[in-house]
Structure 1
Amino acid sequence: MQKKWLVGTMAATMMLAACTTGTSNDAEPGGNDNTNDSDGGDKILIVNNGAEPVSLDPQIAFESVSSAPLNNIMEGLMRLNAEHVPEEATAERYEVSEDGLTYTFYLRENANWSNGDPVTAEDFEYAWKRLVDPETGSPAAFLANLIEGATEFYEGEGTEEDVMVTALDEKTLEVVLNSPQQYFLNLITNPSFFPVHKDTVEEDGSWHQEASTYVGNGPFTLTGWDHNTELRMTRNDHYWDAESVALDGATWLMLEDQNTAYSLYEQGGLHTTTPPADLAEELIASGEVDLYDQAGTYFYRFLTTEEPFQNKKIRQAFAKAVDRETIVESVIRQNQRPAGGFVAYGFPEPSGEDFREVGGDLFAYDVEEAQQLLREGMEEEGYETLPNVTISYSSGPAEHERIAESLQQMYAENLEVDVNLEVVESSVFLDRQRGLEMQMSRSSFIADYADPINFLESFITDSSMNRTAWSNETYDQLIADSKAEADEERRFELLHEAEALVLDEMPFFPLYFYNQPVLQHESVSGIVRHPVGYTELKWADLNE
């Protein structure tokens, strides 16, 4: 089908203003000075971000609707390349000490901020210490646990001076780790480790809320931000590798409704988007959809301090009574893989084998076993009747509701248990889940960096990602030992032991592994979609 592309985004914005919604974390509307905005250039890629970013402050942003645009207006020491391997970015080169604990990064002389100032090692030191500063309150602070002194600082038991990130001179940064882990270079491609322009941050605490005050160092610079509607970015001429950037700019619309986005795609107002769930199967079968790997898992959590899920056997019963194949094939219908473990596919072992293939399926759909486990669990707790169970899911994508309804039906048929369903506004869902207020609730995890530990450390005691109140000393020790283990083969053995333990204890159960179904016009090339969730426009091009 021929499409007439709306290169000027004003037409697309006018068409959709009435049906665009934001999130609970929307920045304050109005007051946006677009004097930096630019409609110049012919190659303006139009994509859908799905919602208003929660924040474009690297040390605060920690979810996909913020990370995707942020990854294109900021850049760290390392950047994932087209093969999803970390390579030098703002850092021209690096050295690692013989014991694997000290990394020395040498920044490019021509690495500059969008205002023309040089990017300095001090900008990185300032940003990384800001990440773990308790006053920042970053949800991503735990990512810095490998850095000597970082954990102690954000837990209030150490000082900023104890965090071993040091600008040796204007272009040299030294980082000391507490364990020689090879995944460190993958870790620091995460947006949480992007630098910030120190002077700007200290002069204006709201610098990241408007295009007119935003200072970045990535391939693109933020030039327009109509809150809850769209972000506009143009090629950053101060970027050290600007000659590799083919696009003149990109516009990120904020359409939560997939059907609205698809309609706009069909009309020519979007170059790429996600297919609506109810059309995905048909569009995939027609060959119109490209499927990309995504390192993530859709799962359900149990609150292990609330009846009846304080009982391990009852948790196991509820997990084993779910037919994951049916949910993938008949409910979601987007060629996802049913999950028999928590760690997704795509993480190679030292041997070259895939972690998931080695670990295999750690639990199975088994109605008879589920019924037996439920009987045994109820007997252990002295239940004649199972306490009421409520499944909570967030508003938003229709598949959340369809999955919850499928679980409800499976529990009725397979366990003869009637469960209640509760839809919770997405604006408060996460807060309630973190507050341990939901008995059984849907969740998703997209990897922050490319290593299985990122999945498994989520369930250590008191982790902000745990949200089940489950605690197990053996599990905590396995994760701690893996982080201290320099031998990669032994480290992966420990991670397999940890995954097997947590899926025996079952404080949660996985349903399926994510993929990335994408509709993209044939004129678009070079977009890199990393399994860990970042979208790269640096190498994208339009040939219309």
Structure 2
Amino acid sequence: MRTRKSALSFIAALLILAIVAVGCTPKQETGNNGATNGETSGATNGGSSEGKVFRMNIHSEPSTLDPALMEDNVSGTLATGIYEGLTRKNENGESIPATAESWEKSEDGKTYTFKIRKDAKWSNGDPVTANDYEFSWKRALDPAVGSTYAYQFYYIVGAQDYNEGKTTNTDAVGIKALDAQTLEVKLVSPTPYFLSLTSFYVYNPVHQSVKDNEAWAADAKTIIGNGPFKMSEWQHNTSIKLVPNENYYDKAQVKFAGVDFTMIAESATELANYETDKLDYTGKPTGEIPAEQIPVLKESKKDEIVTKGIASSYYYQFNTEEVPFNNVKVRKALAMAIDRQAIVESVTMAGEVPSFGFVPPGIIGLKEDYRNEVKDDFFTENVDEAKKLLAEGLAELKLAKFPKVTLTFNTSDGHKKIAEAIVEMWRQNLGIEVGIENQEFAVLLKNRTAMNYQIARAGWGADYNDPMTYLDMFVTGGGQNNTGFASPEYDALIKKANASGDQAERIAAMTEAEKILMEYMPIMPIYYYSNVYMLKPGFKNIFLDYKGDIDYTRGYYQAN
């Protein structure tokens, strides 16, 4: 059982009540990222799937629509409609055929051979071939492209050496089009989750014409996809419209006349648009329902509101190369001085679970859920211990007092309320002042990558169903490791787990790696996500998978 001082809970309850009360104060909402007054344009939806446009909010401008450069769920949500990998996921997270109609795995588990559908086409009518996949995957590995997700190809022979510039010979990379319909992939070692990776957006193909236009991914007219939909309009920072791709091989299963995405930052405005029939979907993964409204909506909209636990973690990360966060005791002090239960009960209110580790529930372990097998009791909340660690850490840094620092988060009512609650807990419990600053999501991503922050809000959802999707992030110099954390012992454990074909050995190595991560604390776990969303009656076959990604591609409408 996790222990926490009663004073911590009492103080947390008082300060959170104050913060939530402010958050509940009615105010006039104007949508500065959407149409006038935050309203979506277009007529009210009605009728059947014929002519029906599905409307949802994505909160902000996507950081990119180049699959090689994607790293956020806004871009990923759009990629679901515009692009398609060799496989796709069903509602249970299982890999099913997509652009690849079939595949074979060698007996040693190190070679995959994919057969590309002969009727697979790009949105401009060109055939999709195995050569397109070879081109796209090697492009994502090209150091000049700068993909932060290139490491997800390192399971493939020669991929890491090419990405790290140790060779310029692309023929040495184990990705080869044997003919127009056959793609052969050679792995370094058996990788049980490799097939799952082939539906991840960095594995999506891009049309080879992109090499002639560096700005291709910023304009609806130059984005050529192979998915169920294609982009018809992109009003930057306002909206994106998709229409069915008439060249898609499975177009008979695409029922919507289009999908409209608005970019409304204010959660109250988003909810108002849903309630006035300007949106068909509101909430996670790319929107937000005001936390204080969730208990009310569970009563008034019980047939529309859904709460779903997902395999994702919400956390703050430290820049461990900056004073004072280059001291582990300081990092631990901040992690131990907050009340996570108070945050999920009184601020977020969506059924989240306090986290004391990084890998969330919902990820497969040895025989059952990894989080059931490996308890997340790596640290506890304890104000007295936090004060002691902070004093020791500052003394080691020869600092008379805690310096001025800033917590940065992407623009969102929810993230702001969490940040306000946490900095107040730090003030009450540790006597330190931490400023807060909001940034547009794309800006925050760039600043995190450039290590231009002190404390930053972050979240991580599964790319595939294995603990490795969380733990390989923090290898030294990793594309997603923008904390400065480096541990040879940690790196060795990740390497051992990746090289092993024995699942028990893999899980043991990853368990030790997570312990090291929590011991050094480059990140501060806060909670495991639970997504809350609402969907209008009549909409069918729109779902969130185990990791919280939305699939609307085969959705349809049937009037009740």
* Corresponding residue of 1:37: none
User: Which of 150, 154, 157 is matched with 2:159 structurally?
Assistant: 150
Asked if 1 retains the 8 angstrom alpha-carbon contact of 2:394 and 2:401, the reply is yes
The answer on whether the counterparts of 2:254 and 2:554 sit within 8 Å (CA) in structure 1 is yes
Aligned partner of 2:205 among 190, 195, 203? 195
Q: 1:389 to 1:226 in 2, by over 3 A?
A: closer
> How far does residue 457 in structure 1 lie from its aligned partner after superposition?
1.3
Measured against aligned partners, the alpha-carbon deviations of 1:16-58 in whole angstroms (never above 9, x if no partner) come to 523569xxxxxxxxxxxxxxxxxx9422111112222222222
**Structural RMSD (CA):** 2.3
CA contact (8 A) 1:391 1:404 kept: no
Provide closer, same or farther for how the CA distance between residues 220 and 432 of structure 1 changes in structure 2, counting only shifts above 3 A: closer
Change (3 A) 1:402 1:218: same
Provide the residue aligned with 2:337 in structure 1: 321
> Are residues 224 and 405 of structure 1, via their aligned partners in 2, closer, same or farther at CA, if it must alter by over 3 Å?
closer
Distance 1:170 1:304, change over 3 A: same
Q: Give the alignment partner of residue 396 of structure 1, picking from 405, 408, 411.
A: 411
Residue of structure 1 in register with 2:42 after alignment: none
Task: State the match for 1:179 in structure 2.
Answer: 189
- Return the offset for 1:79: 0.4
User: How much does 1:508 deviate?
Assistant: 1.6
Matched, 1:510 2:525: yes
One of 17, 24, 35 as aligned partner of 2:35: 17
Which whole-Å deviations, capped at 9, do the CAs of 1:509-541 have from their partners, x for residues lacking one? 100111221011111111121233432122211
Q: CA deviation at 1:85?
A: 0.9
Contact 1:528 1:539 in 2 (8 A): no
Give CA-to-partner distance per residue, 1:120-152, whole Å, 9 cap, x none.
000110100111111212222121111111111
Contact 2:310–2:547, Cα closer than 8 Å, also in 1: yes
> Does 2:341 match 1:341?
no
Task: Note if 1:436 corresponds to 2:451.
Answer: yes
- 1:350 aligns to 2:366 (yes or no): yes
1:262 corresponds, among 247, 268, 271, to 271
CA gap of 1:285–1:298, structure 2 versus 1, over 3 A, is: farther
1:114–1:221 CA contact under 8 A, matched in 2: yes
Deviation of 1:491 after TM superposition, in Å, equals: 0.6
Equivalent AA in structure 2 for residue 178 of structure 1: V
Q: C-alpha distance in 2, partners of 1:500/1:465?
A: 19
Q: Displacement, 1:186?
A: 1.1
Deviation by residue 1:345-401 (Cα, 9 ceiling, x = unmatched) = 1111231x1111212122221223323333444455555x33315231225112222
1:64, distance to aligned residue in structure 2 (A): 1.3
Contact 1:75-1:90 at 8 Å conserved across structures:
yes
> Relative to structure 1, is the Cα distance of residues 218 and 409 closer, same or farther in structure 2, using a 3 angstrom cutoff?
same
Residues 1:307 and 2:323 are matched in the alignment? yes
Contact 1:343 1:455 in 2 (8 A): yes
Q: Residue 167 in 1 paired to residue 177 in 2?
A: yes
Check if 1:85 corresponds to 2:94: yes
One-letter amino acid of the counterpart of residue 373, structure 1: L
How far apart, CA to CA, are the structure 1 residues paired with 2:448 and 2:123?
Answer: 39
**Counterpart Cα distance in 1 of 2:275 and 2:211:** 45
How far 1:285 moved relative to its partner?
5.0
In structure 2, stretches of 5+ residues that fail to align are 1-30, 40-48, 284-288
Q: Which residue of 1 aligns with 2:65?
A: 56
Q: Which amino acid aligns with 1:77?
A: L
TM-score for the superposition, normalised by structure 2: 0.86
1:208–1:428 distance in 2 versus 1, CA, 3 Å: closer
Partner residue, 1:279: 293
Instruction: Report the Cα distance in structure 2 between the residues aligned to 1:210 and 1:306, rounded to whole angstroms.
Output: 38
Q: Does 233-242 or 520-529 show the bigger shift? A: 233-242
Contact 1:389/1:439 (<8 A) preserved: no
Secondary structure of the residue aligned to 2:142 is coil
Q: Which residue of 1 aligns with 2:468?
A: 453
Q: Is the 8 A contact 1:448 1:533 kept in 2?
A: no
Q: Say whether residues 1:423 and 2:437 are aligned partners.
A: yes
Change in CA separation of 1:225 and 1:424 when aligned onto 2, cut-off 3 Å:
closer
**Matched-pair identity in %:** 35
Question: 2:102 and 2:476 mapped to 1: Cα distance?
Answer: 37
TM-score (normalised: structure 1): 0.88
**Deviation of 1:445 (Å):** 1.8
Structure 2 matches for 1:95-174, cutoff 5 A? 95-159=104-168, 160-174=170-184
Tell me, what secondary structure is at the counterpart of 2:334?
helix
Kept after mapping to 1: 8 A contact 2:383/2:429: yes
Segment of structure 1 superposing worse, 355-364 or 429-438: 429-438
Contact 2:243–2:259 (CA under 8 A) maintained in structure 1:
yes
Structure 1, unaligned runs of 5 or more: 1-12, 22-39
Q: In the TM superposition, what whole-angstrom CA distance separates every residue of 1:86-127 from its partner, at most 9, and x where no partner exists? A: 111111111111211111101112222222222100011010
C-alpha spacing 1:147/1:494, structure 2 compared with 1 (3 Å): same
Distance 1:327 1:480 in 2: 36
Counterparts of 1:534 and 1:60, CA distance in 2: 18
Is the Cα contact below 8 Å between 1:56 and 1:66 reproduced in 2?
A: yes
CA distance in 2, matches of 1:15, 1:387: 37
Match 2:381 to one of 365, 369, 373: 365
State the one-letter code of the partner of 2:369. D
Compared with structure 1, are the counterparts of its residues 14 and 314 closer, same or farther at alpha carbon in structure 2 (3 Å cutoff)?
closer
Distance 2:299 2:188 in 1: 49
What amino acid maps onto 1:166 in structure 2?
K
Deviation at 1:300, TM superposition (A): 1.4
2:74 maps to 1:65: yes
> Residues 389 and 472 of structure 1: is their aligned pair in 2 closer, same or farther, counting only changes over 3 Å?
farther
Contact 2:254 2:555 in 1 (8 A): yes
Q: 1:15 to 1:487 in 2, by over 3 A?
A: closer
Q: What's the offset of the Cα at 1:242?
A: 1.9
Q: Does 1:519 align with 2:534?
A: yes
Distance 1:53 1:378 in 2: 40
Paired amino acid for 2:104: E
The structural deviation recorded for 1:433 is 2.9
Letter in 1 for 2:192: Q
